[in-house]
A and B are shown apart, each in its own frame.
Chain A
Amino acid sequence: MKESSRKQGAASPCAACKLLRRRCAQDCVFSPYFPADEPQKFANVHRVFGASNVNKMLQELPIHQRGDAVSSMVYEANARVRDPVYGCVGAISSLQQQIDVLQAQLALAQAEVVHLRVRQSTNFPGHGLCPDSPSSSGSPSSKQVSPQDNKGMFSHMDIVDEASLGESMWSC
Chain B
Amino acid sequence: MSRERERFEEIGKKIKREADAWPHQMAGIRRPMSGPPGTLNTITPCAACKLLRRRCAQECPFSPYFSPHEPHKFASVHKVFGASNVSKMLMEVPESQRADAANSLVYEANVRLRDPVYGCMGAISALQQQVQALQAELTAVRSEILKYKQREAVATLIVPSNSQVAGFHNSGGVSVIAPPPQRPTTPPQPTTAHPPSPSSCVFSQPTTRDLEYGNIESENNYFG
Q: Is the CB of A93 within 8 A of B175?
A: no
Determine the chain B residues whose CB is within 8 A of the CB of A148 once the complex forms. 169, 172-173, 176
Q: Is the CB of A170 within 8 A of B92?
A: no
* In the complex, B191 has a CB within 8 A of chain A: no
Q: Is the CB of A49 within 8 A of B173?
A: no
Q: Is the CB of A86 within 8 A of B206?
A: yes
Q: Is the CB of B141 within 8 A of A85?
A: no
* In the complex, A112 has a CB within 8 A of chain B: yes
- Identify the B interface with A (CB < 8 A): 79-82, 84-85, 89, 92-93, 97, 100-101, 103-105, 107-108, 112, 116-124, 127-128, 130-131, 134-135, 137-138, 140-142, 144-145, 148-149, 151-152, 155, 158-159, 162, 168-169, 171-173, 175-176, 179-180, 182-183, 185, 188, 194-195, 197-198, 201, 203-206, 211, 216, 219-221
Residues from 56 to 100 in A contacting B, C-beta threshold 8 Å: 57, 60-61, 65, 68-69, 71-76, 78-80, 82-96, 98-99
**Which of B112, B121, B152 lies at the interface centre, i.e. has the most chain A CB atoms within 10 A of its CB?**
B121
Shortest Cβ distance from A76 into B: residue = B120
19 CB contacts below 8 A, A to B, read A53-B85, A65-B117, A71-B198, A75-B120, A76-B119, A78-B198, A85-B100, A87-B108, A89-B103, A89-B104, A95-B124, A99-B134, A117-B148, A146-B172, A148-B172, A148-B176, A149-B168, A152-B176, A155-B179
Q: Is the CB of A75 within 8 A of B121?
A: yes
Query: Measured between C-beta atoms, what is the minimum distance from B186 to chain A in Å?
Result: 9
Q: Is the CB of B134 within 8 A of A106?
A: yes
Query: Measured between C-beta atoms, what is the minimum distance from B38 to chain A in Å?
Result: 37
Q: Is the CB of A74 within 8 A of B198?
A: yes
* In the complex, A11 has a CB within 8 A of chain B: no
Q: Is the CB of A49 within 8 A of B85?
A: yes
Q: Is the CB of B148 within 8 A of A106?
A: no
Q: Is the CB of B159 within 8 A of A126?
A: yes
Among A13-21, A23-31, A133-141, A159-167, the stretch in contact with B? A159-167
Determine the chain B residues whose CB is within 8 A of the CB of A86 once the complex forms. 100-101, 104, 206, 211
Q: Is the CB of A89 within 8 A of B216?
A: yes
Determine the chain B residues whose CB is within 8 A of the CB of A92 once the complex forms. 120, 123-124, 127, 216, 220
* In the complex, A130 has a CB within 8 A of chain B: no
The binding surface of chain A is classed by DSSP as helix
Determine the chain B residues whose CB is within 8 A of the CB of A102 once the complex forms. 131, 134-135, 138
- Identify the A interface with B (CB < 8 A): 47-50, 52-53, 57, 60-61, 65, 68-69, 71-76, 78-80, 82-96, 98-99, 102-103, 105-106, 109-110, 112-113, 116-117, 119-120, 123, 126-127, 129, 146, 148-149, 151-152, 155, 159, 162-163, 166, 169-170, 172
Determine the chain A residues whose CB is within 8 A of the CB of B131 once the complex forms. 95, 98-99, 102
Instruction: State whether A82 and B205 are in contact (beta carbons under 8 Å apart), knowing that A49-B80, A53-B80 are contacts in the complex.
Output: yes
Q: Is the CB of B182 within 8 A of A162?
A: yes
**Among the listed B85, B127, B173, B176, which residue makes an inter-chain contact with A48, where contact means beta carbons less than 8 Å apart?**
B85
Bound CA span A109–B85, Å: 48
Determine the chain B residues whose CB is within 8 A of the CB of A123 once the complex forms. 152, 155
Query: Measured between C-beta atoms, what is the minimum distance from A145 to chain B in Å?
Result: 11
Q: Is the CB of A91 within 8 A of B206?
A: yes
